[in-house]
């Protein structure tokens, strides 16, 4: 939904995009990101609300279905140094109280270190981590049992009701997906060292390329454009079987889109085999 006060942008992310320093891969997707970034710049947000998943790095032993960070940073990754995010604690606290009153059992997090799921969209869409205050809203997309799609939609609706009461121009971001099945998430373990993670990914990369499902991606983007919640619910709840474990990250798209409850137009979609992912970016009209 784009009103005078809100813009919604959803985009895939991938560590492979960071490794491709020459930007030779995923050119169509990168073009879509550039278009989205132009729209974000024209909108000039005063606050970012970012629904992102976790790759079993920030949350390992205790994994909330939904979280809200009152303070947070991003971990050092892919050549980028660790950094602290500018989280407006008073607004985040007020949002957490609103969510709880609305029936969303959200976990409050402090001093949590997030990974590229949060850092990448801030860099790609805003040009840096420190450009705009941001409220991170982690969604469990990786560690079963996962929240059902309907709960992700309810999370987004409740957040949207809170945002309706703000005067700031708010950019809402959903990040992750579409179809992909990272080998590091196919194993059911919460104690995975970074070295072991890298080994699993390298060993399984060739097989993972064959797990991209453009047909599922197309159906999902069509449902997003129409904001067909029944279809989105089925697609998200069946994501593991039809589109790989990484496709569960589309719960962040459901939450972000539900803040406005209106369709998102696809700016670009591209299968990027080098990143083992169907990559898409969409924005509100």
Averaged over successive runs of 10 residues, the pLDDT of the chain (285 residues) comes to: 78 91 95 98 98 82 93 86 94 98 96 92 95 97 94 98 97 96 67 66 69 96 98 97 94 98 97 95 95
Residue 134 sits in a domain whose CATH number is: 3.40.830.10
What is the pLDDT at residue 39? 98
Residue 202 lies in a domain: yes
Residue 91 lies in a domain: yes
CA–CA distance, 266 with 103 (Å, rounded to integer): 31
User: Which residues belong to the active site?
Assistant: 116, 180
What is the pLDDT at residue 86? 97
Domain that holds residue 202: 6-284
Instruction: Please give the model's pTM, rounded to 2 decimal places.
Output: 0.92
Contacts of 49 (CB under 8 A, 6+ apart): 134, 135, 137, 159, 163, 170, 171, 172, 173, 259
Domain count across the chain: 1
Residue 1 lies in a domain: no
Beta strand extents in the chain (DSSP E only): 6-11, 47-52, 67-69, 72-74, 83-84, 107-109, 112-114, 134-138, 170-175, 264-272, 277-284
What is the pLDDT at residue 165? 96
CA–CA distance, 162 with 168 (Å, rounded to integer): 12
CB of 98 closer than 8 Å to CB of 158? yes
């Amino acid at each position: 939904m784009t009103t005078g006060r809100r813009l919604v942008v959803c985009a895939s992310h991938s560590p492979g995009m960071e490794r491709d320093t020459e930007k030779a891969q995923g050119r169509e997707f990168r073009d879509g990101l550039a278009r989205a970034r132009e729209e974000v710049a024209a909108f000039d947000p005063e606050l970012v609300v970012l629904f992102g998943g976790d790759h079993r790095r920030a949350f390992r032993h205790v994994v909330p279905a939904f979280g809200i960070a009152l303070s947070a940073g991003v971990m050092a990754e892919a050549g980028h140094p660790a950094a602290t995010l500018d989280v407006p604690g008073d607004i985040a606290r007020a949002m957490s109280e609103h969510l709880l009153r609305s029936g969303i059992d959200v976990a409050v997090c402090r001093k949590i270190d997030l990974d590229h799921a949060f850092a990448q969209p801030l860099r790609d869409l805003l040009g840096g981590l420190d450009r705009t205050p941001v409220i991170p809203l982690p969604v469990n997309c990786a560690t079963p049992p996962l929240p059902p799609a309907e709960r992700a939609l309810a999370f987004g609706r409740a957040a949207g009701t809170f945002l309706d009461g703000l005067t700031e121009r708010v950019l809402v971001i959903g990040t992750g997906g579409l179809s992909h099945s990272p080998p590091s998430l196919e194993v059911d373990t919460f104690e995975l060292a970074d070295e072991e993670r890298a080994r699993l990914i390298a060993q399984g990369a060739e097989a993972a390329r064959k797990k991209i499902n453009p047909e599922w991606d197309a159906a999902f983007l069509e449902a997003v454009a129409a904001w067909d919640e029944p279809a989105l619910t089925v697609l998200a709840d069946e994501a593991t079987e039809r589109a790989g474990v990484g496709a569960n990250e589309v719960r962040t798209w459901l939450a972000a889109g539900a803040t406005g409850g209106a369709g998102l137009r696809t700016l670009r979609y591209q299968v990027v085999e080098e990143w083992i992912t169907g990559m898409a970016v969409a924005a509100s009209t």
